[in-house]
Structure 1
Amino acid sequence: MHGRSLLVMLSGFVLASTPVLAQKTASKAAGVPVAKVLPLDTAVRIGKLPNGFTYFIRHNEEPKERVLLYLVNKVGSILETEEQRGLAHFIEHMSFNGTKNFPKNELVDYLERSGVRFGADLNAYTSFDETVYQLPLPTKDKELLKNGFRIMRDWAQEATLDETEINKERGVIIEEKRLRKGADERMREQYWSQLLNHSRYADRMPIGIDTVLLYGKPETLRAFYRDWYRPDQQALVVVGDIDVAETEKMVKSLFATLKNPVSLKKRTRYTIPLTGKDQYLIATDPENTTTSAEILWKQPEEKLVTDVDYRKAVVKQLFNQMMGERYAEYYKQPQPPFIQGGVGIQPFMGGLQLFSASARVNNTGGLETGVKAVWREIERVKRFGFTQSELERAKQNVLTSYTASWKEKSKTPSENYVKEYQQYFLDSAAAPGIDYELALVKQLLPGITLADVNKVPATYIKATNRDVIIMAPGKDKAGLPDSATFSRWLQEVSRENITAYKDEAAGTVLLPAKPAPGRIVAQTQLKDVAGIMYTLSNGVKVVVKPTSYKNDEIGFSAFAPGGTSLSSDKGFQSAVNASGIIGSAGVGDFDNTALGKYLTGKQVGVKPFIGDRTQGVNGSAAPEDLETAMQLIYLYFTQPRKDSALFQSILNRSRPQLINRANDPNSVFSDTMNVVLGNYHFRRKAPSVEMLDQIQLDSCLEFYKARFADAAAFTFVFVGNIDTTTFKPLMENYLAALPATHHNQDVRELGIHPPAGMLEKKVYKGKEDKATVRLVFNGTYNYSEENNMAMEAVAEVLNIRLLERLREEESGVYTPSVSAAQSKYPQNRYAINISFGCSPQNVQKLIASTLDEVARLAKDGPATVNLEKFKAQSLNTLGTVTQTNRFWLTYLSSQLQNKEPLDMIGRQSALINKLTAEQVKQSAALYLNTSNYITFVLLPESAK
């Protein structure tokens, strides 16, 4: 949806698949008169070579036999001259297109053959102030590991920047830029320069400008590389299952030879200057779908370096959390004043942070009400402050979060450490380690008072440097307020007779009386997956797999056949929305707000669902909170609630998004594809206000209760740090106590399948000169693990070839994508989806190239090297994902629902290794049938 928060939109200004980690929150020791610099975690070895190159090395075995290498450069688009705009990002691209030791595409080719996936594993990003390259590697292959460090060395200073490759890459980056075009980008252009006070950041977007990208001289690119890719601006972060001493020797040997330029350019730390002015900015666009207002107070960022900084950060964290809870209560009102509203303090950019207040509303006419409601809560806190009970809940949640991280310290993913050290290098953000942080937080929290958090608004809401940004659909521009009117709204609230907030206490017992327990009647060892299946006296089946992948995590899922397939046509809209509406209303004696308060300090979440063919619950819990999770499961089955006010709130907050949905090209395109692929069945129609009006609360509750009435049909799967001795009585007390009718109601087959044959559907929507293409091959299928593996190989080798041809050879796309999906029920079917974005002028040419590659694969089979890449990457991924609770929960649930053997995972490696080119060729010939596919194309309205 368009009309997103400004801060959400800002998150898109990093050019890569890997996001920049948000700054950590933190705090200070109460009563310490002098600020003390927080130490760096002693578990990491840090060093600086004579040439200025910095390194961080840490041993970590999560995941085992894997290591992450990150090359962090204090080099971004902010350093570009006017003639270089976009070249920092261009160099990131070129680093994958040839280095001293890996010419042209040999680097990507070598790593893919070694099992490293381009994009998913091997990646990079460029932002305003940094460029970061990432490379995850298995550590068993010593030669590969050695070459991984050599690649990092090459990236640091030895990209070849070949002119032929530069010219080929121009089109790729233009296509990447094209993908970003749309309402959000057009609105940003309307307020961006003013918001950034006309600073250097305002005209240094990392993606660059077309004149430079298309016509910039190769020597200009090389000059930027020589000036800024230098050791005094670089760091290598190495975290994984490695020997620290040996790794340090290798790093010193390789990176000590990096050279700084004879004449060093000063690395200026640019900032956004504060002007002392207030600004009022309006941005509208015909494709924008909602109306919003943001009030932003810009101020210098508060670094996280000392204990004093840490205390300030914890206070801000508590403030943000308490304000969030207050605004959440508005959503229970039948006519909430906003669709989304909130207040918070967060990092910005250019050395600034923001205190922001935002309201997204139904339409322009509701803007005054929404803005006043948001401002009223700020005014309420300014006058009366928070309550002690609010503060205690917030403190408990903070402590629980830190404690949970501490419990998992031996299972912390390497990526978490990499991000910490990256921020330490880039911004001097403290990284003292979880032992130190938990001790500090325990010391600080008791000393943080209501007075500390109550003064936050006065501290951060200043008389100057305030920006107001209004974003709305283009058709509503005339009805938007001017600056004087907006300011008058805030002044009117300040004169209101506002009452103090009353924090209503939540109940202390979730389940007043335990249900009559059932019992375990059978127990079967599942040797193939090191699990146990229990059969309970009410017919419930429970599969348990104890693991040691996480210290403080248990995930669970439950399912039974039925779902919305069993709803009547008339009641379908109520049925399809039942789990969302009823599930959000709370359980038993606890409404949504009271339940949230009750769960303070607990790590537990339970969410019911009703899908097309199944219904059930998903959730997770820390081992100590597992009984609470069991109680919630019991209540979601037996005591669901209906909340009329919340129901009306959901409808009223959904309505404007549906009213304006037709303005958004991507929504129209997606809706069109869903309708066509659903063969125009009414259950696949695009969402609309008319459908919203068909939802009835009583019908939602009735359908929900019917789907959860017979526990005998349910299978539960629990995976994680489970002690079966203590788990058995929980099963008997709660799961075996669930009501069971033994009706054995099965799925109703609806026969909704995509139409057969060749079909083309063009959608003309949008202003931008961009197109989106989807090719969908689908049909009946012979479901088996062998066929599934062959089809996955078809998708991957085709993806490799399309990347080579459409991107590298034709420079026509940024990233094509090929995916495969198979289903066993209600009918064996498959779908292979090919997608890419491109220029409208190139649509037919690129479709023709795609179909040519499809035909080649079906006729000749895959190139040996591409099949080997698929095998290497699949084996590499298999070795990592199978060491997670999430994988096993998904795998066991899927196998059980599909009635497939559980030992299949043990045969995956053998299936991958024995897969032949002939099998892939046959699968491609059978399923990439060029007489049975659907073409979808989204084109701008001007292309009609």
Structure 2
Amino acid sequence: MTSVASAQSLPLDKLVKTGRLTNGLTYYIRKNTEPQKRATLYLVVKAGSILENDDQQGLAHFIEHMSFNGTKNFPKNELINYLQRSGIRFGADLNAYTGFDETVYQLPIPTDKPDILKHGLQILRDWAQDATLDPAEINSERGVILEEKRLRMGAQQRVQDQTLPVVLNDSRYVNRLPIGTDEVLKNFKPAVIRSFYKDWYRPNLQAVIIVGDIDVTAIETQIKTLFSDLKNPIQPKLRTVYAIPLTGKNQFKTITDSEIPQTSVDISIKFKERINKTEADFRKSLITNLFSSMFSSRLAESAKKPDAPFLKLSGGYGSMMGGLDALSIELVPKKCQLKNGFISAWTIIEGIKRNGFIATELQRSKQSLLSQMQAALKEKDKQSSTSLADQYKTHFLKGEAATGIETENKLVNEILPGITLAEINAAAKMFLKATDRDIIITGPESEKTIMPVKNEVDGWINTVENATIKPYTETTFSNGLITNLPPKGKIVSEKRIPEIGVMEWMLSNGAKIVLKPTDFKHDEISFLALSPGGTSLYNNQDYESAANAAGIVASFGLGEYDNISLPKILNGKQVSIQPFISDRVEGLQGGSSVKDLHTAMELLHLYFTSPRKDTALFAKIIRNSAERIANRYTDPDAIFSDTVSAVLGGYNPRRTGPTLDKLKSIELDKAVQIYKERFANAGDFTFFFVGNINSDSLKSYAEQYIGSLPSSGFTESAKDLGIHIPSGKIAKTVNAGKEDKATVRMVFSGNYEFNPKNNLSLNALQEILQYRLTERLRETEGGVYTPSAQMSNNKYPTARYSFTVGFGCAPANVEKLISATLDEIRKLKENGISAVDLQKFKAEELRQNELAAKDNGFWLNYISGQYLNQEDPLSFLKLNEAIEKLDTATLQQAAKTFFNEDNYVRLVLLPKE
């Protein structure tokens, strides 16, 4: 029976406290304890780049930057310094973004110290109307934003510049990109940016959103106290709501560029934006979601077939911008098969329009949606504060309903059964309309002369529309993954590590289970299986087959099911698992819901015992990969990346970039053989499980699906191939690309004593150098947007460390900025680390450890890493104490040791011209 949806407005989440001050400011406040002792604070402003005058292009975004460079109560950089001292990371935690229609400031903050929360609210208040916009700071920030703009330069930006007028229907949005124009950014006067700030940063266009471990009543009182004195302009400008008009016309464009690696076709069919406000809207959105899911699955399935004339075919319905939604389709045809690829893809699309979907497709789509809703409902009290804040942000900006998960789940269960196949197929005809359709074809410059014109592509479409298209059919499948259960193994010994809540089980076949039951999530179990060996056990001749074996074999399907039928069998199940073979280990990684752990264990068993071999699919993989490799070296970033890898790997063939010769060396039989060898001996594996685990259930599954796996009783070790960053001073410059941009990598490395003290010192130096480089290269020099400092270390095969500094900049500034970086490093070595920087590191690290202690992903990676490195699993319990004891003298000595300029690799990407 079809349900009748109501036109009544959907209610706002009953758990959120909302209101509006007399000056028009809106607020949303909600108590939420995920994570504990934290809150997410947003200031949302209904003002973005679309409101800029011609002489203000880029200044909405510029104001966002300036809000971190001085406010009434936090002058200059004191805002960032204060927050870092409070344990909040700039960029990773503290952030903001500017869109066409809004600007949003995001501040996750601890709540266990009242002063920090109080100051957090004051920061939002300052952002709302009290940015100082100091002229000196403005001039300093110009370079930073110009460097942010420079990072976007390249083939994709050049293509976007040509496609935007088509995609955005020549609307105002075309000339209001948030990043702005060079002319304005370089030359605007402070009065112009102040004018924008005064006009649009006003309370009747703003919302404060506070979600977290807070006292709602107390926060509401503080909001009223802090924000009630915000003033609207005496004569406020009208806040025009701009939209991209639907013209009813179809548009076509081809673009070629010397740095585009392959031809692709992007098709967009545009519609007025759909916003959920009523139950009737919600029902329509469910129909849209079901259609989009089925449409996406049908296209993805066609792309998996060995004879498909395209490398990729994907699509789905989603939000666009400017009051529009779009059904988007992306097609990447095989080389020299644009016509065949397009006609084949359009035949699939036209077949959906003409013949519709079938009942089993709708059944799977409904099942998948219900499964997602059930999973979300189970985690209703584990929703992150940030995800909730995002919902309220959208409610404020667009009026999109934010009913809360319980109401949404109730609506889905009431409405979904009544949605019929006929409704979905009617929706398909509507979404696949023949108007408001853009077709944009991009390709390499070398193919410019063979690019089709509009009439040709229209002819291809007409050919399909006049052809006979057979209705879609599919094979029915049984529901079981494993029909004949193998004999069980037994748990022969147990051990506990009570300090961290870990248990070890040894199975009769030698496999080890390490589990940590947690209550961090109600319906999440993560797992990882590891065994030593990896590709290190194979010679260079077989390396490519070994390195690609897991990915190739997994792409074939599993057991009785091929790559098309396996996803259908798993539909509606919250489970994923993927095998891998890396340099020194092989294994599987994945996760599942609690109820789908059984399925996960079946899959795990089959990946050991029943890999598939598919000659036709293998040939397709090789053909497709060959095309990608042939086109790879038109991309300057790919050229540089391959060079970096080769230099740092001592030009070992395992570290040089992909080539056609390497690809040809991959043999199907050899890859399958190697895969089977790596997973032939379960007794050499350790299986790690973290999450909401019922120990009795896992014990039963482990005995059945892991304990029954074959075992040789032999233990392997990975080989030391001697591949590491070369010693000495090395400099390499790559000239590629035509944009006025450079990329720099500076690498320090050497031998290492792997121990907790050195590991902590390396981590601290990484963060402190990040502070120093951000201040020097970004704030003082104005020469970069996001410098990065990254460290890595390993215990095996031989203990080594590396430190990498990276940034993008103007080619003219490369030498100056490299010198400034080396200067900052020498200051750390000669003058030591400042007490303020050490305080920032300690505060941030201690706060991050609080979050890590309640995160399944952290514990899975930590425990498996400790076992793999044969390190004390209790080290994490001692970490905070070690952080507290860390001193500047220790770090200065570490800087002298690890920033060894005798082992220094300098790599630079410069344009060809």
TM-score (norm 2): 0.99
Partner of residue 148, structure 2: 176
Q: For residue 300 of structure 1, what is the aligned residue in structure 2?
A: 272
1:30: how far off? 4.8
| 1:807-818 matches, cutoff 5 A | 807-818=778-789
**Match runs of 1:180-219 below 5 Å:** 180-219=152-191
Between the aligned partners of 1:226 and 1:687, the Cα distance in structure 2 is 54
**Residue of 244, 247, 257 corresponding to 2:219:** 247
Residue number in structure 2 paired with 1:400? 371
Counterpart for residue 429 of structure 1 = 400
Matched, 1:562 2:567: no
Query: What do the CA deviations read for 1:413-460 (whole angstroms, capped 9, x no partner)?
Result: 111101100000001111111111111111111111111111223212
Q: Secondary structure at the match of 2:43?
A: strand
3-state secondary structure, aligned to 1:577: helix
Aligned pair partner of 2:314 in 311, 327, 342: 342
- Once the two structures are TM-superposed, the CA of residue 33 in structure 1 deviates from its matched residue by 6.0
Structure-1 residue corresponding to 2:685: 714
Q: Which amino acid aligns with 1:664?
A: D
The secondary structure found in structure 2 opposite 1:112 is: helix
Q: What's the counterpart of residue 470 of structure 2?
A: 499
State the match for 1:551 in structure 2.
522
- Among 434, 439, 452, which residue is 1:468 paired with? 439
**Is the Cα contact below 8 Å between 1:517 and 1:733 reproduced in 2?**
yes
Q: Secondary structure at the match of 2:310?
A: coil
Residues in 1 aligned to 2:278 and 2:455: alpha-carbon distance in whole angstroms: 42
2:790 to 819, 827, 843: 819
CA drift of 1:669 comes to 0.4
What does 1:139-150 correspond to in 2, within 5 Å?
139-150=111-122
SS in structure 2 of the partner of residue 551 of structure 1: coil
- 1:95 maps to 67
Q: Is the 8 A contact 1:794 1:920 kept in 2?
A: yes
1:41-80 equivalent positions in 2, closer than 5 A: 41-80=13-52
The answer on 1:274 being equivalent to 2:235 is no
Mean CA deviation greater in 187-196 or 418-427 = 187-196
State whether residues 353 and 432 of structure 2, in contact with CA within 8 Å, keep that contact through their aligned partners in structure 1: no
The CA distance in 1 between the partners of 2:388 and 2:351, in whole Å, is 40
Query: Within 2, Cα distance between the matches of 1:924 and 1:468?
Result: 55
In structure 1, C-alpha distance between the alignment counterparts of 2:2 and 2:198, rounded to whole Å:
48
Letter matched to residue 560 of structure 2: D
Alignment equivalent of 2:382, drawn from 411, 415, 433: 411
Deviation at 1:358, TM superposition (A): 2.5
Asked whether 1:163 is paired with 2:130, we answer: no
Amino acid at match of 1:429: E
Partner-residue secondary structure (3-state), 1:912: helix
- Whether 2:782 is the aligned partner of 1:777: answer no
For the Cα contact (< 8 Å) 2:354–2:429, is it kept in 1? no
Q: Write out per-residue CA displacement over residues 487-523 of structure 1, whole angstroms, 9 at most, x where no aligned residue.
A: 1101111122211111211222111111100101100
Counterpart residue number, 1:702? 673
Contact 1:346 1:353 in 2 (8 A): yes
Report the residue type matching 1:292 in the other structure: S
Deviation at 1:34, TM superposition (A): 4.4
Residue 730 (1) aligns with residue 701 (2): yes
Query: Cα deviation per residue 1:134-171 (whole Å; 9 max; x = unaligned)?
Result: 11111111111100000000000000000000000001
| Aligned sequence identity (%) | 48
Q: Does 1:835 align with 2:813?
A: no
Query: For 2:163, what is the secondary structure of its paired residue?
Result: helix
C-alpha offsets along residues 873-911 of structure 1, whole Å, 9 cap, x if unaligned? 000111112211001001011001000010001011011
1:606/1:632 contact within 8 Å kept: yes
The answer for the alignment partner of 2:768 in structure 1 is 797
* 1:376 aligns with one of 341, 347, 369: 347
Shift of 1:464: 2.6
The residue type paired with residue 461 of structure 1 is: L
Shift of 1:463: 3.5
Query: Does residue 1:609 correspond to 2:580, yes or no?
Result: yes
Q: CA deviation at 1:355?
A: 2.0
Deviation at 1:56?
0.3
**Counterpart residue identity of residue 721, structure 1:** N
* Amino acid corresponding to residue 82 of structure 1 in structure 2: D
- Residue identity in the other structure for 2:31: H
Does the 8 Å contact 1:335/1:648 carry over to 2? no
Per-residue Cα deviation, 1:752-800 (whole angstroms, up to 9, x for no partner): 0111111111000001000010001111100001101011111111111
Q: Indicate yes or no: 2:818 matched with 1:847.
A: yes
In the TM superposition, residue 808 of structure 1 has moved relative to its aligned partner by: 0.8
Moved over 3 A (4+): none
Flag structure 1 segments of 5+ consecutive residues without an equivalent.
Answer: 1-28
Partner of 1:623, secondary structure, is coil
Superposed CA deviations along residues 686-709 of structure 1, whole A, max 9, x for unmatched, are 112221121111111100000011
Q: Report SS of the residue matched to 1:870.
A: helix
Match among 885, 899, 903 for residue 928 of structure 1: 899
Distance 1:620 1:33 in 2: 37
Asked if 1:477 is matched to 2:448, the reply is: yes
Q: Which amino acid aligns with 1:213?
A: L
Q: CA deviation at 1:605?
A: 1.1
Deviation string for 1:568-623 (max 9, x for gaps)? Answer: 22111111000001012122111122211111111111111101000010011111
What corresponds to 1:21 in structure 2?
A: none
SS at match of 1:683: coil
Secondary structure of 2:496's aligned partner:
strand
Q: What RMSD in Å do the two structures reach over aligned CA positions?
A: 1.1
Q: Which moved more, 1:93-102 or 1:382-391?
A: 382-391
Q: What are the Cα deviations for residues 610-668 of structure 1, in whole angstroms up to 9, with x where unaligned?
A: 01000010011111111111111111001111122222222222222111100001000
Residue 634 (structure 2) pairs with residue 666 (structure 1): no
Q: Which amino acid aligns with 1:62?
A: E
Partner of 2:92 in structure 1? 120
Q: 1-side partners of 2:508 and 2:659: how far apart?
A: 45
Secondary structure of 1:52 counterpart: coil
Conserved? CA contact 2:5–2:280, under 8 Å: no
Say how many residue pairs are matched.
913
1:794-826 Cα deviation digits (max 9, x unpaired): 111111111111111111111111011110011
Tell me what 2:618 maps to.
647
- In 1, Cα distance between the equivalents of 2:359 and 2:801? 57
Secondary structure, counterpart of 1:355 in structure 2: strand
Aligned to 1:919: 890
Q: Which amino acid aligns with 1:525?
A: R
Counterpart AA for 2:827: R
Partners of 1:342 and 1:374 within 8 A in 2: no
One-letter amino acid of the structure 2 residue matched with residue 583 of structure 1: A
Name the residue aligned to 1:10. none
- 1:24 aligns with none
Aligned residue number for residue 362 of structure 1: 334
Q: Do 1:113 and 1:868's aligned partners in 2 also have CA atoms closer than 8 Å?
A: yes
Unpaired segments of 5 or more residues in structure 2?
none
Corresponding residue to 2:648 among 656, 661, 677: 677
Matched residue, 1:626: 597
Q: Following the alignment from structure 1 to structure 2, what is the Cα–Cα distance between the partners of residues 749 and 463?
A: 61
Conserved? CA contact 1:85–1:212, under 8 Å: yes
Q: Which amino acid aligns with 2:456?
A: T
Q: Is the 8 A contact 2:246 2:270 kept in 1?
A: yes
